[in-house]
Amino acid sequence: MPHYKYQIQGSDGKMSVGTLSAESAMAAANSLRQQGRVLGLVPVEVSKTSLGEKLKAMNYTSGPTVKDVLNFTTQLAVMIRAGISIRVAIEGIAEQASNLKFREILTQIKQDVEGGKPFSDALARHPKCFDTLYVNMVRASEMSGSFARMLDRIAAYMAQQAETRAMVRGAMIYPAVIMTMAVGTTIFLLTFVLPKFASVFKGKEAVLPWPTTFLMGLSEFMVNFWYLVVAGIVVGLGGFIAFIHTEIGRLWWHRTQLQIPLLKKMFRALYISRSLHTMGELVNAGVPMLDTLAITGDISGNALYKRMWRAVYGSVKQGKQISSTLAKSPLLPKSVTQMIGAGEESGKLGEVLDEVSAYYAKQLREVIKMVTGLIEPIMILLMGTIVGFIAMAIILPIFKLSSLVK
């Protein structure tokens, strides 16, 4: 089916572009007019896409992203609120989806809904796109009749989690870039600068200071056996990645994250904020408590926190309170446990979880700013120390040899 590029104008006057598939340009224009009458959109231009634009629009190389799912959720909420049936809404969104694989998934979901399946069951068939939290919140909304409002909550949750991931990733990328520059500078000095002094120091090894002797030996090894160095780095990184993907390695790595002096506060705030935010959304959505605890553990992102929530799941299953088990864990501050206990007693657990998760989300942003602010001078000091040590190893023997000549 041909693809057409279109421009539409919203009620606020803003222009937006997209693509959709249709039998002809006239059919594409009619489809846009039908959607426009409901959503207040005015089609401005419809034109057939070129081969390059079609390939780009279909996006053959990658699967659906979090952004694709977020856009779908937001659009679906708007269209359901406007009175469009869920089948027509999914069909309209699928036609505009720029990712081919996601378009196929939405088409399958539409067919399942047409076949009489609940929307939540249709979503559950695609766990890589729609996780258990998404499916359970949708299922709860189907029972309560607050579908559009729940979709808004899901979209807001996904947007906040994406923003949090981006902040943490940004905080980790900066030191990685600085470290890469430090390693690159060191390799350049050892493999290009120091070898030029080898002929000057040749035959005078006995009078050279130990920093020079050490670096000259290291430089010679790296120049002559560079392939072993590269192989060692590749094997080391590959082994580390493989190790942390095992159950023991993942547990060690997650425990290490909570012990690194500069980063432990950031990771702690991240996991607490994510866990409590997820739990609060599920509680407010009306998801059963046992399902809520199971999903919270899976989404926490840390094996230690997952163990903690599993322990809470077991105790609640036996009729105990959530706070009684959390009080035994060192992973949550006592103040948080007390507030959760108060929420259980008052019947306002969802509100308490929202407030605590918002507090830790704010703390996470502050910690990330502090970490990035501290890492910069530390990395600069590290680079200065490395370069200074190499410079000292070159200059010291020159002064020493000059004094011997005199």
- Span 181-233, pLDDT tens digits: 878 888 888 888 788 777 777 766 677 778 888 888 888 888 888 889 889 98
pLDDT digits (tens, 9 = 90+) for 141-179: 887 777 888 888 888 888 888 888 888 887 778 778 878
Q: How does DSSP classify residue 20? A: E
pLDDT of residue 29: 65
Angle at 316 between CA 311 and CA 318, to 5 degrees: 100
Question: What is the pLDDT, as a whole number, of residue 20?
Answer: 62
Name the packing angle between helices 66-81 and 25-39 (round to 10°).
60
Under the phi-then-psi rule, with left for phi > 0, alpha for psi from -120 to 50, and beta for the rest, what region is 124?
A: alpha
SS3 5: strand
Which pLDDT belongs to residue 25? 67
Q: Given this model, what pLDDT does residue 246 score? A: 92
Say which amino acid occupies 212. T
Contact indicator for 92, 79 with CB cutoff of 8 Å: yes
Which residues have CB under 8 Å from 205's CB, separation 6+?
A: 213
Strand 42-48 with 15-21, pairing: unpaired
DSSP string, 190-259: IIIIGGGGHHHHTT-GGGS-HHHHHHHHHHHHHHHSHHHHHHHHHHHHHHHHHHHTSHHHHHHHHHHHTT
Q: In the chain, which stretches have pLDDT less than 50?
A: 37-39, 51-61, 406
Three-state DSSP state, 9: strand
Distances (CA, A) of 24 to 4, 28, 30, 119: 8, 6, 10, 30
Closest listed residue to residue 364, CA positions, set 157, 174, 153, 165: 165
Instruction: Identify the pLDDT of residue 370.
Output: 85
Domain spans of the chain, in order of start = 3-58, 164-406
CATH number corresponding to 164-406: 1.20.81.30
Neighbours of 345 (CB within 10 A): 11
The one-letter amino acid at 91: E
The amino acid at residue 101 is K
